[in-house]
């Protein structure tokens, strides 16, 4: 009989839900347009990119690792997709697949550095963060890749049944990840490796393969986020994604996934991403300076990590 998966759901998630409701109520009182349909649609569209990244990095954090290269991968994969998204050159599926594969390849390099060369995840992904940013600048020639096809840009701007397409992409990504982590053998292995790596290895789990799979999945989702972002802003920007990795990791930790691995899940990640998005959207509506917004984000990140350490003890 398989041990129960530690999704991290409990009183902490109830508190997160209450905090989300309280933040929404406070912003609705402070700015009447917060609860209007156009703003809510815009809010969901804004959350989608960070949500996709956060779901991806959840896999890595559950194994006890970390990925700091997400923002640079968004830039690299966005540029890669844009190069294949010229009008009348390739079907829309080609740039989508190219961006996702580019992200998965970078994730595989991260995984190989961690599992084969025994490089600490922090250092391996920090190196990838720098290398991928430089590669994005080289591939794009240091300037935005524009003139993208209408079919491609609709991936980031169109609505389906009144719901933004990026939000539907996030929903599919989250659902598939939830099923994999909670219903499939790979998911159980991910939790086992993060909970106790040595015990997992002793029980016959191929730890390196599990970690490699987590980094590849994380890279692929970063690639998908890069494609959606390029479609939304209608250009492949080599400087896109700055600081995105911090927002994604903060959303995951706020959602209850432990930095030590083995505890957490996609449901909490979505709540964390939603809370971060509500706060960002509210601060924008209230015309709070971007400088102060960075301070607020920093406090949230430090607070989330401090809470995680406290719960671990």
Residue range 49-85, pLDDT digits in tens: 999 999 999 999 999 999 999 999 999 999 999 999 9
Q: How many domains does the chain have?
A: 1
Q: Of 3-17, 20-34, 81-95, 296-310, give the range with the top mean pLDDT.
A: 81-95
DSSP code per residue over 26-54: HHHHH-GGGGSHHHHHHHHHHHHHHHHHH
Mean local confidence (pLDDT), 79-104: 95
Give pTM, 2 decimals.
Answer: 0.92
> Could you count the other beta carbons within 10 Å of the beta carbon of residue 122?
13
Instruction: Return the pLDDT at 274.
Output: 93
Q: Which range marks the domain in which residue 288 is found?
A: 11-312
Q: What average pLDDT does the chain have?
A: 90
Which pairing describes strands 163-164 and 159-160: parallel, antiparallel, or unpaired?
A: antiparallel
In tens, the pLDDT along 258-284 reads: 888 999 999 999 999 998 899 889 889
Cα dihedral 179, 184, 188, 189 sign: negative
CB atoms within 10 A of CB 6: 18
Contact 231, 152 (CB under 8 A): yes
Q: Give 203's pLDDT tier (boundaries 50, 70, 90).
A: very high
In a domain, 302, yes or no: yes
Query: Confidence band (pLDDT; 50, 70, 90) for 187?
Result: very high
Q: What are phi and psi of 160, to 5 degrees?
A: -130, 120
Mean pLDDT, residues 5-14: 56
**Domain contains 159:** yes
Residue-wise pLDDT tens digits, 149-163:
999 999 998 888 888
Facing residues of 164 across strands? 159
Q: Is 6 part of any domain?
A: no
Q: Is residue 1 pLDDT above 50, yes or no?
A: no
C-alpha span between 46 and 23 (Å, rounded): 17
Q: Around 109, how many Cα atoms within 13 Å sit in the side-chain half-sphere?
A: 16
CA–CA distances in Å: residue 65 to residues 5, 68, 117, 188, 256: 18, 10, 15, 16, 15
In a domain? residue 4: no
Residue 2, pLDDT score: 47
Structural tokens at position 204: 């016959």
Residue 181 lies in a domain: yes
Residue 61 lies in a domain: yes
Q: Classify residue 175: in a domain, yes or no.
A: yes
Q: What is the largest CA-CA distance in the chain?
A: 58
Q: What's the pLDDT tens digit per position in 229-249?
A: 999 999 999 999 998 998 999
The answer to whether position 80 is within a domain reads: yes
Residue 255 main-chain phi, psi, to 5 deg: -75, 0
| Residue 13: CA count within 13 A, CB half-sphere | 17
Give the CATH number for residue 240. Answer: 1.10.3470
Q: What is the pLDDT of residue 7?
A: 57
Find residue 236's DSSP bridge partners: 145
């Amino acid at each position: 009989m398989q041990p129960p998966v530690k999704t991290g759901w409990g009183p902490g998630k109830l508190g997160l839900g209450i905090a989300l409701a309280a933040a929404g109520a406070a912003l609705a009182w402070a700015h009447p347009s917060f609860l209007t349909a156009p703003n809510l649609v815009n809010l969901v569209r804004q959350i989608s990119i960070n949500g996709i990244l956060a779901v991806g990095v959840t896999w890595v954090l559950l194994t006890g690792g970390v990925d700091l290269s997400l923002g640079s991968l968004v830039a690299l994969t966005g540029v890669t997709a844009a190069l294949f998204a010229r009008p009348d050159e390739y079907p829309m599926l080609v740039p989508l697949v190219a961006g996702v594969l580019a992200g998965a390849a970078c994730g595989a390099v991260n995984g190989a550095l961690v599992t084969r060369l025994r490089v600490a995840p922090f250092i391996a992904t920090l190196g990838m963060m720098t290398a991928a940013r430089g590669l994005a600048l080289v591939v794009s020639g240091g300037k935005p890749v524009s003139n993208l096809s209408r079919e491609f840009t609709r991936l980031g701007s169109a609505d389906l049944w009144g719901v933004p397409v990026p939000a539907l992409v996030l929903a599919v990504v989250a659902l598939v990840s939830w099923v994999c982590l909670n219903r499939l053998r790979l998911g159980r292995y991910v939790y086992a490796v993060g909970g106790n790596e040595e015990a997992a290895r002793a029980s016959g789990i191929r730890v390196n393969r599990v970690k490699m799979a987590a980094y590849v999945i994380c890279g692929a989702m970063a690639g998908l986020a890069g494609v959606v972002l390029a479609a939304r802003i209608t250009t492949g920007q080599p400087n896109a994604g700055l600081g995105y990795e911090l927002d994604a990791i903060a959303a995951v930790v706020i959602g209850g996934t432990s930095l030590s691995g083995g505890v957490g899940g996609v449901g909490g990640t979505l709540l964390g991403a939603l809370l971060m998005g509500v706060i960002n959207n509210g601060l924008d509506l209230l015309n709070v300076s971007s400088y102060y917004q960075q301070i607020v984000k920093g406090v949230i990140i430090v607070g989330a990590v401090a809470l995680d350490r406290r719960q671990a003890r």
